Chains A and B, each alone.
Chain A
């Protein structure tokens, strides 16, 4: 008897299915806004301590005036999850979230938005030249909103970090409200980043600069690029946000042959920043795009030109200026607490710094001041910075 083992292979093809491809009507097609992709860094960790990375093209001027290349060694570079204790215990971290990823998109300028602090025009009375007069000035209103900063009718390429939101989200710096409350990265999605530069400055000594950032996030940062027809060049706008709970910068000097600075020197020269953030805004696409050129002398030129068209009427110029000042993203650099050689402040803060040390002639006594070599600089801020004009040109030294 035959035993038959049958292999039954069923091949089937979709026929009259339920999800048939159909043509999109024109009105549906035009509502698609830009295309691109998002990405998330899942379980990332990076450690370059086994690599020899040297940065060149900084020259050292010797005592006799001649110049030679001074290599700067990047002797430490790591990216890890937070809580790594300056890179000692690295753990993987997931940067970006599936619903708030890093994105690379190409879209229309009129569809893009940026979160910007809204400023308003106010007046005050000042006394000048012996008389009172009323003057106008702009000041932050305290609110922020999403505004269109890119010009209309251009295709804009955007590279963006996870976004900042209008509402919801987490505190951009945990435990500190001043930096903003609506970052999309949650506390587990913050990174520790560190790098150390060794500069061989000559004379048998090397300067060591060691940066360690803890609980770093860069939500809301972006770089946008498009072609400007009237200027016939590539222009853009950028916003770089850096939020860090702690930033330690150790600056000390050691003999060339030593591996590290002495422990006392490293601690004594460490800058401790707590609750530090930077929002660096370059360019307001509609009227002041960021231009990065190379001039015909082979030097680079970074330019932010006057957002107002000076050949217009006063009414037109006032309107352009009002739009710029109300909406342009501003640059802020805030270090809520900065100490050198003093460590992190205790819960109730440090004791008062001593007064100025001046002698009986009112002259400062060199070497005096500070408290056991450390100093608490307290809060430092540069806020609400905007450029009416900027042109940076490099030149040979």
Chain B
């Protein structure tokens, strides 16, 4: 006997006679809103312990290095340092290179959010007139750097070459790189806010 208090779950499938599946018309479909999003945290490091090209030499004096060694410590420093990633770009047919050099460090963040959002109000009255969807990147509360660094400069060759070694020894005395700007970052940058992105034409 079937218990009176038994709860019977009946999945009723649409049948032609009863609750027939019907196409939702476009007006109804377009008024439905979705909810969803992404919450990201991450840590990544670039060349924290050096990279694949150059091994760390013993001294900071370029003339003592072998062909596969390079130290990226500052001028006048006593101890050598591992080197970071290098990207070189040439923007003309014949000429020198823009270089992003010694890009390295550990970078971590928590709480980068990503979702879509419909804006049709607020923003000092601009929202109502705007009335569209945007992609909202929520900035993480903190971005942490550990031993981060980079240098931006210009050079006459794409790849780094040791100016203090002769060509026979794997260097290139005519190599010239001029650093325009370089920085080291360590610690936490606090931020808040969102970046709203939407198409424009």
Contacts and interface: CB of A to CB of B under 8 A. Distances in A.
A–B contact via C-beta, under 8 angstroms? yes
Contact of A47 (B124, B155, B190): B190
A295 B96 CA distance: 5
B19 A8 contact: yes
B189 A99 contact: no
Interface string A210-240: 0000000000000000000001111000000
Contacts of A297: 96, 156, 176
A80 B109 CA distance: 21
A45 B156 contact: no
A171 to B, nearest CB: 16
A97 B7 contact: no
Interface string B12-30: 1110000101111111011
B4 A298 contact: no
A294 to B, nearest CB: 3
Interface size class of A (residues with CB under 8 A): 35 or more
Contacts of B195: 39-42
A47 B191 contact: yes
A37 B189 contact: no
Contacts of A320: none
B41 interface: no
B124 A10 contact: no
Nearest to A96: B196
Interface string B63-100: 00000000000111100000000000011111111100
B188 A69 contact: no
A323 interface: no
A39 to B, nearest CB: 5
Contact of B198 (A39, A69, A105): A39
A233 B199 CA distance: 29
B199 A37 contact: yes
B182 interface: yes
Interface of B: 2, 4, 6-14, 19, 21-27, 29-30, 74-77, 90-98, 119, 123-124, 126-127, 129-130, 134, 136, 139, 145, 151, 154-157, 175-201
Interface of A: 1-19, 32-48, 50-57, 59, 67-69, 71, 74, 92, 94, 97-99, 101, 103, 105, 186, 188, 231-234, 292-300, 394, 396
6 contacts: A5-B10, A33-B201, A56-B182, A57-B179, A57-B180, A294-B95
Q: Which 8 A-B pairs have the closest CB atoms?
A: A294-B96, A298-B176, A233-B92, A51-B187, A44-B193, A17-B26, A15-B23, A234-B91
Given A57-B181, A68-B76, 20 more contacts: A7-B10, A7-B11, A13-B21, A13-B23, A14-B23, A15-B23, A33-B201, A40-B134, A41-B193, A44-B191, A52-B184, A54-B184, A69-B76, A101-B200, A295-B95, A297-B176, A298-B155, A298-B178, A299-B96, A394-B178
